[in-house]
Amino acid sequence: MERKPIYFDHAATTPLCKEALIKMTPYFTEIFGNPNSQHYYGRESVKAVDEARDTIASLINAKPNEVYFTSGGTESDNWALRGIAHARKEKGKHIVISPIEHAAMLSTAKALKKEGFEIEYMKVDEFGLVDLEHLKSIVRDDTIFVGCMMANNEVGTIEPIKEIVQIAHEKGAIAFTDAVQAAGVLKIDVKELGVDLMSMSAHKIYGPKGVGALYIRNGVKVESILTGGHQERMKRGGTTNVAGIVGFAEAFKIAIKEIDDNFNYVSSLRDHFIERILSEVPFVKLNGHRTKRLPANADFSFDFIEGESILFSLDLAGISVSSGSACSSGSLEPSHVLLALGLEEALAHGSIRFSFGKHNTKEEVDYAVEVIKESVKKLREMSPLFKAEGDIKYV
């Protein structure tokens, strides 16, 4: 391979930024203390964690004691949903979530169903937007939890969280949002949104893997899922990931500092890419909403061909993308998100997610378009579903 593979999978993860790495490094070696220790080393680590908590809180307009560090998005989602369900089971057993949540939510909901909770799903339209009228009609007095992601990881659709929160609160339900794809990309003010709980993750915004946070509004009771020592104000056991937390805060700080520049730059790459694909590749569908969309995301379904073969075809040409959600690539089922959007199964099988980052260039995007045209053409020539070779023009 002549050139380093082009990385268009930033919704899966991002490279750690140098600033975060530099900030983290001493906490692996010199300042290695356990924040639970009373002595000098422990106190130094406490200082770093407190400072990181202050930083993250201020970036989402929360109070520091409303930010709880976790091992990442999955744990935050698990904690929010399971923790609220268990804390409020006397009030009701009805839980409402969107059908396009991350597997961390869907799997937890399934587990809760086995415990006797009733899970009901919001409706989403063909673009992935939650149907608010439908939501109003299903939230009840005994609904204890209403949860919807702020922006979808697969198709990038940005949801009307403020309105969803209002509907939840009208019936006294706790409102949760999974902001793993949104935090550091979209401007978030938890007080203005009114949300009770919110999941965040570091590695989607050039921070380290294995660290995230759950915002829990003061006054909201959540049962612990990781029981252990006194960490995180007795709510989350486990030795504090000091270096990870320091890196998370630094990456988040930079993401917010650069938020407008990154949004504009990345979305300009994305728009250029979308325009070229739609005009130069026949039989292709853009999934998700055209404007209410994460700046990095372009998700396409290519007719007549299967996503995994597109993924490896692009991989061989030095372009790293994902087919549906990276988490579901081990399974053979088509993406649950695309099915919820009403796509036919065959088209759902043929989906590829491109997610751009601040280090990508227009040259890379243009190169990718040429490779995609070739790969799609070659795979279609192999496909028994594709009969009209002669009529198709690749510009």
- As annotated, the active-site residues are 327
Is 88 a binding residue for another protein by CB under 8 A? The answer is no
* CB 310 to another protein: min, Å: 10
Is 51 a binding residue for another protein by CB under 8 A? The answer is no
Is 244 a binding residue for another protein by CB under 8 A? The answer is no
Is 346 a binding residue for another protein by CB under 8 A? The answer is yes
- Pick between residue 203 and residue 349 the one whose CB is nearest to another protein: 349
Q: Write the binding mask 53 to 72 for another protein: x where contact by CB under 8 A, - elsewhere.
A: --------------------
Q: Using CB under 8 A, which of the segments 14-22, 103-111, 180-188, 382-390 binds another protein?
A: 382-390
Is 341 a binding residue for another protein by CB under 8 A? The answer is no
Give 173's contacts (C-beta < 8 A, 6+ positions apart): 96, 139, 143, 144, 145, 146
Exposure string of 284-299, with b = 16+ CB inside 10 Å and e = fewer, is: bebbbbeeebbbbbbb
Euclidean distance between CA atoms 200 and 59, whole angstroms = 12
Q: Say what the alpha-carbon torsion angle 95, 98, 104, 109 is, to the nearest 10 degrees.
A: 30
Euclidean distance between CA atoms 262 and 258, whole angstroms = 6
* CB 308 to another protein: min, Å: 4
- Pick between residue 116 and residue 384 the one whose CB is nearest to another protein: 384
Query: What does the block give as tokens for 140?
Result: 């009840």
- Pick between residue 143 and residue 313 the one whose CB is nearest to another protein: 313
Which member of 330, 390, 393, 395 binds another protein (CB under 8 A)?
330
Is 388 a binding residue for another protein by CB under 8 A? The answer is no
Q: Using CB under 8 A, which of the segments 131-139, 185-193, 253-261, 331-339 binds another protein?
A: 331-339
If one counts every other C-beta atom within 10 angstroms of the C-beta of residue 155, the result is: 28
Sign of CA dihedral 283, 288, 290, 294: negative
Euclidean distance between CA atoms 36 and 93, whole angstroms = 37
Name the strand (E) or helix (H) holding 302: strand 297-302
Query: What does the block give as tokens for 53?
Result: 């908590």
Closest CA to 352 of 322, 380, 329, 383: 322
Which member of 384, 390, 391, 393 binds another protein (CB under 8 A)?
384
Is 340 a binding residue for another protein by CB under 8 A? The answer is no
Q: Write the binding mask 288 to 327 for another protein: x where contact by CB under 8 A, - elsewhere.
A: ----------------xxx-xx--xx--x-----------
Is 392 a binding residue for another protein by CB under 8 A? The answer is no
R_g over Cα of the chain: 22
Binding site for another protein (CB under 8 A): 304-306, 308-309, 312-313, 316, 330-332, 334, 344-346, 349, 381-385
